Structure 1
Amino acid sequence: MHIDRVAALDIGGTKIAGALVDGNGRILVRAQRPTPAQEDGESVMRAVEEVLAEVAASPLWSGATAIGIGSAGPVDASAGTVSPVNVPGWRGFPLVERVREATGGLPVTLVGDGVAMTAAEHWQGAARGYDNALCMVVSTGVGGGLVLGGKLHPGPTGNSGHIGHISVDLDGDLCPCGGRGCVERIASGPNIARRALEGGWQPGPDGDTSAAAVAAAARAGHPVAIASFERAAQALAAGIAATATLVEIGIAVVGGGVANAGEVLFAPLRRSLRDYATLSFVQRIELAPALTGTDAGLVGAAAAAALGSRDEETATIGG
């Protein structure tokens, strides 16, 4: 099955983005709305419908043959539902059915946002050419996805590789997912900022308390900001090493807004990975920043749609 043009949705705790994507991964049309994450489920769905309506207003929409959704998780691809940890109004929300209705019956493929980013990175990013890879999104939350044996491995519900909810601190803080000491609870952007503030870091005159502001302070040598990123790196390294030990990945790709901190994150991450990835078969794991940038979710959702339902694995996107 050959798909020349697909629609895509990227749904996170901060924004809802939509696009039309061609067979070379180029975004032809895009739209975006803030996620009304603290409102009820129908309010969030209205934002999705507004994004879809804006994209569908393009004359190029008539060529779209499928739609892929990459959503913050957990998702349940088998049931077509989503329950994003950071969007409390959506619990078991029938997103696939609602998007199918909103798009006039287009075939819909749902995967977790980490799986979508992984599809993008394996297609045309840092994981290209690797048969076994872990790709991670470190942002408002921490997600991930796996490529095993040269193929995207979303798992039965679309959540495989969801590294953010591996516990790396058995007595750690409670996570909104219900677990304790999860990677996400330590390494996500909001938690990096929370820990820095609790440690005594003060934002500048602009009052910016984002992880990006903490990264800037770390770059300038602020010890509390540095320590918060080092703790995040330690949690990420422990999760990566555990994953590598289980499934023998050759590369770990790290993207998302927090990865924009650059060496503030990657220098301690490389050090910590050496501490945790100690067995002979995981010592050579490569670590790389993602290459597909902020469009990874959209491009990856499009790639997942092109692959179609999992019983049509011969599907290709583009040539």
Structure 2
Amino acid sequence: MPKNHSESSFRPLALAVDVGGTKVEAALVDDEARVVPGTRHRAATGASNTAEGIADAVRRVIDETLASAPDGAPLVGAGVGSAGPISIERGTVSPLNLAAWRDFPLADLVRERSGVETVLRLDGLCILLAEHWAGSLQGYRTAMGMVVSTGIGGGLLVEGRLVGGRTGNAGHVGQIQLHTHEAEGKDLSVTLEGIAAGPRIVEWAQQQGWAGQTGEQLAASYRDGDPVAIAAVRRCARAIGEGIASVCALVDLEAVAIGGGFSRVTPDLFDLIRETVTDVAPLDTIPGVAIVPSALSDEGPLIGAAGLIHRAALLP
């Protein structure tokens, strides 16, 4: 089969890799934020997978993506977004939802497999970068991008610059605390992710007697008016709204763009989040922050990873 020779064939291309708790994806993306048709590939990761099994999945999608590249396409680098925490200094990742990977050298793996220079950043920063480059946050100078899915990630833009932080984990909004620890030590159940990520909301609904198993089934139950599903979605929205209000108090956000599979559980979710921000905001200046859906659907993480190469001037 002949390879695709679209307009993107003649523009600089970046290999984009997105690693999460459920899957890894790779694609080629041009310098106008377009995913090259036919180059997008995915493989399962999964919390029960082995370290080598996850690494093999990453290698496989890279190989498939590069094999599908248009003839003569100029590959200028590889951008990698990963669930965190990460270490920019060491190029390693320790995703909370992938227990088998602790200090895994992901940047080296991608560099060796692709043969091009590789830039690693937190997946939440990639979401923010994508929305600012080509999505719902164009034109804003202080904003946050969020993904609500298996986990909850985020990235920050402050006064026109992406925020990386000391270790590369700035913007990790899923790990902000919403409740006081009842026991000593680490307790992820009191974080935004521990409360509002898709699997946590499903678990909560099941504890209240809901008989379903997945986020998709919860969405269907919500549409059918199931009271437990409605309460579960409201619980999710409440936690997200509280988290956004807290970040607004810290950096005075203009806008927040939210993507990820669970963010699409119902269109009502965004109204409920806005209502919560208005209800709980500790400062009168916070209500009115724009809270909008991602404009990039499920391509956002890949576009953002490619932006690490194509929009490198914005990086901290």
Question: Under a length normalisation based on structure 2, what TM-score does the superposition of the two structures give?
Answer: 0.90
Which of the residues 202, 212, 218 maps onto 1:214? Answer: 218
* 1:245 alignment partner AA: A
**Which residue number in structure 2 is paired with residue 22 of structure 1?**
30
CA drift at 1:102: 1.0
- Supply the AA of the counterpart residue of 2:310: A
Tell me if the contact between 1:122 and 1:130 (Cα under 8 Å) persists in the aligned partners: yes
Q: Specify the alignment match of 2:130 in structure 1.
A: 120
Q: Whole-Å Cα distance in 2 between the matches of residues 138 and 173 of structure 1?
A: 27
- Retained in 2: the 8 A contact 1:36–1:43? no
Which consecutive unaligned segments of at least 5 residues does structure 2 have?
1-10
Question: What does 1:5-154 align with in structure 2 at a 5 Å threshold?
Answer: 5-28=13-36, 29-60=39-70, 62-104=73-115, 106-154=116-164
Change (3 A) 1:168 1:294: same
CA distance in 2, matches of 1:191, 1:174: 22
Distance in 2, Cα, partners of 1:77 & 1:256: 24
2:287 maps to which of 283, 287, 305 = 283
Please say if residues 67 and 107 of structure 1, whose CA atoms lie closer than 8 Å, have aligned partners that are also in contact: yes
**What CA distance in whole angstroms lies between the structure 2 residues aligned with 1:72 and 1:172?**
27
Alpha-carbon separation, structure 2, partners of 1:262 and 1:306: 33
Which residue number in structure 2 is paired with residue 294 of structure 1? 298
Kindly provide the amino acid, as one letter, of the partner of residue 241 in structure 2: A
Q: What is the Cα deviation at residue 41 of structure 1?
A: 1.2
Counterparts of 1:222-261 in structure 2, within 5 Å, are 222-261=226-265
Kindly provide the amino acid, as one letter, of the partner of residue 293 in structure 1: S
Deviation of 1:149 after TM superposition, in Å, equals 0.8
CA positional deviation for 1:264: 3.4
SS of equivalent residue, structure 2 residue 190:
coil
Q: Which amino acid aligns with 1:97?
A: D
Amino acid in structure 2 at the alignment position of 1:193: V
Aligned pair in 2 of structure 1 residues 219, 172: CA closer, same or farther (>3 Å)?
farther
Aligned to 1:182: 191
Q: CA deviation at 1:36?
A: 4.2
Per the alignment, residue 206 of structure 1 pairs with none
Return the match for 1:199 from 188, 203, 208: 208
What per-residue deviation string (whole Å, max 9, x for no partner) do you get for residues 149-204 of structure 1? 112222243221111000102147999x754400001111101111111101123x
TM-score (norm 1): 0.89
In the alignment, is the contact (CA less than 8 A) between 2:76 and 2:309 conserved in 1?
A: no
| Pair 174,167 (structure 1): closer, same or farther in 2 beyond 3 Å | farther
Matches of 2:41 and 2:273 in 1, distance apart?
34
What letter matches 2:16 in structure 1?
A: A
Q: CA RMSD in A?
A: 2.0
Q: How far apart in 2 are the matches of 1:217 and 1:59?
A: 42
Q: CA deviation at 1:259?
A: 1.1
Contact 1:13 1:72 in 2 (8 A): yes
Query: Matched residue pairs, number?
Result: 302
Aligned partners of 1:172 and 1:181 also within 8 Å: no
AA aligned opposite 1:70: G
Q: CA deviation at 1:252?
A: 1.4
Maintained 8 Å contact 2:181/2:187: no
Letter in 1 for 2:191: C
CA contact 2:162–2:314 (8 Å) conserved in 1: no
> For structure 1, which runs of at least 5 residues remain unmatched after alignment?
204-208
Change (3 A) 1:178 1:63: farther
Counterparts of 2:268 and 2:200, CA distance in 1: 16
